Amino acid sequence: LPAGLSQWFPALEVLDVSGTGLAEIGAELLSLPCLHTLLAKNNRLGGPGSLPKGLGQSPLARSLRVLNLSGNRFAEVPPALLQLRGLRSLSLGGNRLHSIPPDIQELRSLEFLYLGGNFITAIPPELAKLPSLKYLVLCDNKIQSVPPQLSQLHSLRSLSLHNNLLTYLPREILNLVHLEELSLRGNPLVVRFVRDLTYNPPSLQELAGRTVKTRNVPYAPSDLPENLVRYLSLASNCPNPKCGGVYFDSCVRQIKFVDFCGKYRLPLMHYLCSPECSSPFSSASQSSTSQSESDSEDEASVAAHRMQKVLLG
């Protein structure tokens, strides 16, 4: 950036240096106290020293609201960006990112996050700790699964996951009550009903824990070692309302299909406490075709109004 920028434009609010071949943003940027939008798309940023030292401690960390660094060469999210606590929009699409740092949770004002067109393989659960996030774009990556914690993004309106490696979604996705758009095209989603899958027999500790929980055996922290008290607190309720059981580490994974708006079918992952536990929505005696239709019928009546757009094609 040219020297003396802050002297020439002390009240500068928007700076666009996109497509200029920029490889480094100098310290002059830090002396722009009114800057709230920085666009630096399609440059050569990403090497050592691309961003000015002290960025996270400068007045810019409070004033900057929009930052677009898409189309550059970043192999990781620069730690300095995670100190820009005032950011509402962050775009790092079309870079060389392989992961999302857990510290992304520090950007608690973030409303728009664009990370499409990278090489990201996993979504960290910490991403769910962004209370204001409305638009999350993770398309064109190599993501294989969606953590159930994303259901905590109660402000989310749009979730773009097209062109990844997803074969199913967590059932908790139905808790995103404000979601209006879910983009899933270009994923190897399961195309027919799948009856499960894997089940490891429960350990003696799990069997004992299940008994304590299902029979409401009373206990106090003073009765058991701390690790066992913590273990018992991790019990998950079986989703089958006719079962009433619990599980810890040992469960049956089962992909069930849900129809949305009478047009699209999503494969959602369910967890049951044992192979003997029947599906929450249909009997085991049904054929695979009728079973999937029965599942989707009940689910759709509850969830269809929550998804205004489900884009699979």
How large is the average pLDDT for residues 253-262?
58
For residue 132, pLDDT over 70 is answered with yes
Residues 181 and 228 in one domain: no
- If one compares 136 and 299, the residue with the highest pLDDT of the two is 136
Element (H, E) at 224: none
Confidence of residue 111 (pLDDT cuts 50, 70, 90): very high
229 in the same domain as 100: no
Q: Are residues 145 and 208 in the same domain?
A: no
Torsion-angle region of residue 91: left (phi > 0), alpha (psi -120 to 50) or beta?
Answer: beta
Domain-embedded: residue 276: no
Flag whether 290 is in a domain.
Answer: no
Is residue 281 assigned to a domain?
A: no
Asked if the model's pLDDT at residue 265 lies above 70, the reply is no
Q: Distances in Å between the alpha carbon of 167 and those of 116, 213, 281? A: 19, 33, 21
Domain CATH number, residue 66: 3.80.10.10
Q: How many domains, the chain?
A: 2
Do 58 and 158 lie in one domain? The reply is yes
Mean pLDDT computed over 263-276? 67
Residues 42-51 have a mean pLDDT of 94
**Whether 23 and 40 share a structural domain:** yes
Instruction: Tell me: do 191 and 224 sit in the same domain.
Output: no
Residue 100 DSSP one-character state: -
Residue range 255-273: average pLDDT? 61
pLDDT of residue 26: 84
Q: What is the pLDDT of residue 290?
A: 34
Q: Which residue type is seen at 207?
A: L
Question: Which residue has better confidence, 55 or 5?
Answer: 55
Considering 162, 196, 230, which residue would you say is the last residue of a domain? 196
Phi, psi of 192 (to 5 degrees): -145, 165
Residue 61: pLDDT band (50, 70, 90) is confident
Q: Is residue 287 part of a domain?
A: no
Q: Are residues 168 and 227 in the same domain?
A: no
Containing structural domain, residue 237: 201-246
pLDDT at position 90 over 90:
yes
Interval 23-48 mean pLDDT: 90
Residue 65 scores a pLDDT above 60: yes
Q: Is residue 35 part of a domain?
A: yes
Q: Are residues 241 and 102 in the same domain?
A: no
Output the pLDDT for position 154: 92
What is the share, in percent, of the chain residues with pLDDT greater than 90? Answer: 40
Per the domain annotation, does 75 fall within a domain?
yes
Strands 236-237 and 246-247: antiparallel
Does pLDDT of 96 surpass 80? yes
- Asked which of 27-36, 58-67, 259-268 is least confident by mean pLDDT, the reply is 259-268
Is residue 312 assigned to a domain? no
Does 212 lie in the same domain as 184? Answer: no
Q: Has residue 51 been placed in a domain?
A: yes
Does residue 67 carry a pLDDT above 80?
yes
Both tokens assigned to 151: 């259901």
Co-location of 11 and 93 in the same domain = yes
Do 26 and 148 fall within a single domain? yes
Least confident among 79-83, 97-101, 284-288? 284-288
For residues 223 and 1, give the distance between their C-alpha atoms in angstroms, rounded to a whole number. 66
Q: Which residues pair with 112 in a beta bridge?
A: 89, 135
In this predicted structure, what is the pLDDT of residue 194?
40
Q: Is the pLDDT of residue 309 over 70?
A: no
